[in-house]
């Protein structure tokens, strides 16, 4: 080899000789063996606060992911952190005009898990989660871990006294004066509506107008004759109708005729006896063992012990839980208005929406009223179901129309994996783009035929699309912690015995002490 060639090779430091013409460009040295690449990967994007990245400010780039609210996950495309919940986006960010969330998606893709994360995050900011009718249950362990109150309703498990004024009665006595009397009147209306709802469930038709007048008069008389410190019960109400006091007889127009009085009250009398001895059993006849604590950091009313086919008891338990829960919210705001306690906000969760909607029409009316008035109640809500077709299975067109309105009025609509046809129908209500429909449709695909099938997960698990009005959707991937995984396992009954024993609630709920101390500190403050 000539000295000149040796010099050229040594100049290239042992590599191939570089071409004589042209230099290196942004992609390397052109030519054979020059190291030129056809494509350069984009740099990884990172997000930091202005304090952390103050020295790199000229090179920082922002993204469109919202950062107000509970941390939910990462943006599928940019990797940016995405935060959000109905209350934060309504009160602080002002992204939505109604603090409500409606979630749809096929089973097993993580809908309840995402709402469970919102529940935990909001509780840390002082918001009180209310799960008024946990049907599986999905949230009881989380509420216990937060130091909250878990109440059970079911035959042989626990009952509720629908005549108990509950937190509203206690707040009325504490407030006193004209404001307290107004709360007493509202309490009477809630009790009247709850008893009327039970009668409607037993009869499978609404009460007559004159029967509601008789019932109202009987409740007034019962409240006046009940000694201080005692709570009336349904058997006491039945005895009032049997006795026929003058106040009750006056609204029946019996004109002193005993037969006319009996004809007027006998249908109502029979219906109340049907509540006590019929399909509802003694669940609503005993002293209330499920009174909601006004100062609880979180509340879960567990009705999972009620069988799937027991629709009447399910409907009655749901109505009673919602009546007691919303009465507690009203009592809290009344005490705050009177300056007797700090203002508190509440977040209600209604999972498996299809089941209570089909149980009784009264549930549809109550939820419909809640979605219209939750701004004035200081109340955010999350409703979870599978598809829009759940609303089509309701009995009357009026109920179906009300159920479809839940999606239209929701401030946030969150979609997990859904078939393409479902997404097309949802797009007519929410306003989805073709790309968003294609994306969410792919999340409904089943897992692949892998060698280790027990480890495969559906491609759409943990992936959601958040829609707010006409804004572009935000696709996110939720990654839960080990603590959340133990607290919210909807497949716990499919676990082998040794795994189930290792994941018992009393062994994994190590947040209970922290939750109680935080709640006590907040009440003391």
**pTM of the model as a whole:** 0.76
Residues with Cβ within 8 Å of 162's Cβ and at least 6 positions away in sequence, in order, are: 191, 194, 195, 198, 234, 284, 320, 323
**Structure tokens given for 429:** 């209500």
pLDDT of residue 12: 46
**Structure tokens given for 19:** 């071409």
Q: In this structure, what is the dihedral angle of CA atoms 63, 68, 70, 73, given to the nearest 10 degrees? A: -10
**What is the bridge-based pairing of β-strands 412-415 and 100-104?**
parallel
Tell me the three state secondary structure of residue 199.
helix
Strand order across the 474-477 sheet: 81-83, 71-75, 474-477, 463-467, 412-415, 100-104, 379-385, 346-350, 128-134, 299-302, 149-152
pLDDT in tens, the chain (525 residues): 444 444 444 444 455 555 555 567 766 777 777 776 666 677 777 777 767 777 665 554 555 688 899 999 999 988 888 999 999 999 999 999 889 999 999 888 889 899 999 999 999 999 999 998 888 888 999 999 999 999 988 887 878 888 888 888 889 999 999 989 988 988 898 888 888 888 888 887 778 888 989 999 999 999 988 888 788 888 899 999 999 999 999 999 888 888 999 999 999 999 888 888 776 767 887 665 667 888 899 999 998 888 777 878 888 888 888 888 888 998 999 999 999 999 999 999 988 777 767 666 656 776 676 566 556 678 898 988 888 777 766 667 777 777 777 888 888 999 999 999 889 888 888 889 999 999 999 998 877 676 555 566 788 889 999 999 888 899 999 988 888 888 876 666 666 665 555 555 443 444 444 333 333 333 333
How would you class 242 by CB atoms within 10 Å of its CB: exposed for 0-12, middle for 13-18, buried for 19 or more? Answer: exposed
pLDDT of residue 280: 72
């Amino acid at each position: 080899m000539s000295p000149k060639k040796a010099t050229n090779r040594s100049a290239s430091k042992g590599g191939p000789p570089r071409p004589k013409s042209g230099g290196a460009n942004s992609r390397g040295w052109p030519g054979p063996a020059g190291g030129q690449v056809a494509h350069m990967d984009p740099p990884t994007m990172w997000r930091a606060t202005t304090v952390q990245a103050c020295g790199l400010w000229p090179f920082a780039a922002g993204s469109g992911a919202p950062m107000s609210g509970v941390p939910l996950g990462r943006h599928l495309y940019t990797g940016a952190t995405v935060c959000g919940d109905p209350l934060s986006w309504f009160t602080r960010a002002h992204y939505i005009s109604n603090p409500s969330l409606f979630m749809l998606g096929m089973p097993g893709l993580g809908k309840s898990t995402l709402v469970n994360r919102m529940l935990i995050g909001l509780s840390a900011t002082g918001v009180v989660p209310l799960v008024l009718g946990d049907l599986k249950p999905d949230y009881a362990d989380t509420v216990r871990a937060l130091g909250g109150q878990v109440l059970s309703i079911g035959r042989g498990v626990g009952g509720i006294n629908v005549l108990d004024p509950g937190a509203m009665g206690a707040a009325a006595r504490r407030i006193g004066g004209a404001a307290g009397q107004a709360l007493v009147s509202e309490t009477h209306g809630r009790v009247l509506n709850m008893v009327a709802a039970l009668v409607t469930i037993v009869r499978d038709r609404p009460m007559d107008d004159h029967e509601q007048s008789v019932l109202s008069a009987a409740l007034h008389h019962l409240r006046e004759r009940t000694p201080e410190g005692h709570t009336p019960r349904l058997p006491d109400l039945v005895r009032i109708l049997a006795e026929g006091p003058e106040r009750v007889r006056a609204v029946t127009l019996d004109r002193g005729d005993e037969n006319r009085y009996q004809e007027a009250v006998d249908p109502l009398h029979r219906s109340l006896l049907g509540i006590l001895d019929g399909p509802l059993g003694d669940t609503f006849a005993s002293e209330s063992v499920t009174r909601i604590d006004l100062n609880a950091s979180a509340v879960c009313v567990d009705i999972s012990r009620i069988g799937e086919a027991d629709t009447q008891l399910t409907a009655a338990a749901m109505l009673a839980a919602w009546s007691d829960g919303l009465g507690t919210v009203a009592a809290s705001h009344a005490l705050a208005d009177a300056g007797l306690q700090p203002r508190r906000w509440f977040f209600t969760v209604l999972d498996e929406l299809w089941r209570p909607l089909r149980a009784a029409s009264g549930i549809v009316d109550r939820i419909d009223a809640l979605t219209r008035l939750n701004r004035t109640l200081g109340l955010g809500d999350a409703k979870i179901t599978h598809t829009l077709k759940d609303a089509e299975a309701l009995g009357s067109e009026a109920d179906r129309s009300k159920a479809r309105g839940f999606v239209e009025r929701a401030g946030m609509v969150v979609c997990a994996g859904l078939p393409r046809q479902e997404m097309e129908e949802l797009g007519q209500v929410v306003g989805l783009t073709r790309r968003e429909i294609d994306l969410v449709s792919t999340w409904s695909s089943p897992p692949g035929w892998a060698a280790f099938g027990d480890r495969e997960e559906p491609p759409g698990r943990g992936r959601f699309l958040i829609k707010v009005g006409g804004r572009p959707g935000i696709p996110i991937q939720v990654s839960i912690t080990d603590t959340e995984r133990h607290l919210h396992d909807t497949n716990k009954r499919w676990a082998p015995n040794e795994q189930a024993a290792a994941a018992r609630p009393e062994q994994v709920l190590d947040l209970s002490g922290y939750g109680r101390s935080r709640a006590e500190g907040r009440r003391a403050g």
